[in-house]
Amino acid sequence: MAIWDDILTEQDKIVYERAGWGKPGGYGRRPALLVVDVIYNFVGDPELPILESIKTWRYSCGTVGWDGVRALQKLIGKAREKRIPLFYTTWERRVDKLDNGRWNGKNWRVDDPIDVIGHHGNDIVKEVAPQPQDMTFVKKKPSAFFGTALASYLIDLGVDTIILTGTTTSGCIRATAVDGFSYNYYVIVPEECVWDRGEVSHKINLFDIQQKYGDVVKLDEVIAYLDGLPDGLFADKLPESARG
């Protein structure tokens, strides 16, 4: 049973099946791991149930976020073992909110200072923090591609597959999945490694990604895929510190 089956109507299931959606897109041969906004703002610090966590951290996904962090640790460990390139995103805003754009009009707590430049909330969670050879971008909008150099680095590395992780499923993950699809990358989403503050939003956006933009799969399948790749795929591109 897929994670979204309990929220689909019977008509939805029939329509998508008969229309031919949901065919597995598969994997390419040169993946990169993309870790989107795994910062304290989106999980809280310390770990608390969401209704407690959002009292301080308005973006927080609570315990499900920390469950995702723990799953992501396993995937990052395997990616480093196979010397797959890693890309991270974070985000932050100016004190005057000038760089916040339309975000300023979509949340009643926009004056909370937790996402201001220099705040701990913008720090990538230490359990999955980048290493010196990894690439990290500050983004201002949902997609990791929008306004960043991400695509140019993927092109330079010859990447054909994006393993997409992080948060939130309905926002930055979906937007990045759509953009990755639009650039003709294979998009792979390990289900355990993405999360959202909204249960229904999480499920229905995973459903949409699976139907149209990529493959939503179990973490064990992604790890098996990485295990099956030859060693040294990016040896001619990555710095010596990343080659082992």
Walking along the chain (244 residues) 10 residues at a time, the average pLDDT comes out as 96 97 97 98 98 98 98 98 97 92 89 94 98 96 97 98 98 98 98 98 98 98 98 86 55
Residue 122 is classified by DSSP as G
193 is a catalytic site residue = no
Q: Please give the Cα distance from 107 to 9 (Å, whole number).
A: 31
Q: Which two tokens stand for residue 225?
A: 């895929």
pLDDT at 96: 94
Is residue 215, in this structure, part of any structural domain at all? yes
pLDDT at 150: 98
Is residue 9, in this structure, part of any structural domain at all? no
Contact of 37 with 166, CB cutoff 8 Å: yes
Using alpha carbons, list the distances in angstroms from residue 5 to 31, 188, 200, 227, 244.
29, 20, 11, 30, 43
Residue 88 is classified by DSSP as E
Strand boundaries in the chain, DSSP class E? 31-36, 86-90, 135-138, 161-167, 186-190, 194-195, 215-217
Question: How many Cβ atoms from other residues are within 10 Å of residue 219's Cβ?
Answer: 17
Q: Please give the Cα distance from 235 to 244 (Å, whole number).
A: 10
Is residue 157, in this structure, part of any structural domain at all? yes
Using alpha carbons, list the distances in angstroms from residue 124 to 87, 91, 121.
12, 10, 8
Q: Among candidates 35, 31, 133, 129, which has minimal Cα distance to 84?
A: 31
Domain that holds residue 95: 25-229
pLDDT at 242: 57
Strand boundaries in 15-108, DSSP class E? 31-36, 86-90
Tell me, what CATH number does 55's domain have? 3.40.50.850
Using alpha carbons, list the distances in angstroms from residue 11 to 1, 30, 151, 231, 235.
17, 38, 38, 46, 49
Question: How many Cβ atoms from other residues are within 10 Å of residue 191's Cβ?
Answer: 20
Is residue 6, in this structure, part of any structural domain at all? no
Contact of 88 with 124, CB cutoff 8 Å: yes
pLDDT at 104: 86
Is residue 8, in this structure, part of any structural domain at all? no
Helix (H, G, I), strand (E, B) or coil at 39: strand
pLDDT at 237: 83
Is residue 104, in this structure, part of any structural domain at all? yes
Does the global pTM surpass 0.85? Answer: yes
Is residue 127, in this structure, part of any structural domain at all? yes
pLDDT at 241: 58
Is residue 101, in this structure, part of any structural domain at all? yes
Rg of the chain's alpha carbons, rounded to an integer?
Answer: 18
Domain count, the chain: 1
Q: Please give the Cα distance from 130 to 112 (Å, whole number).
A: 27
Q: Which of 36, 154, 162, 172 is catalytic?
A: 172
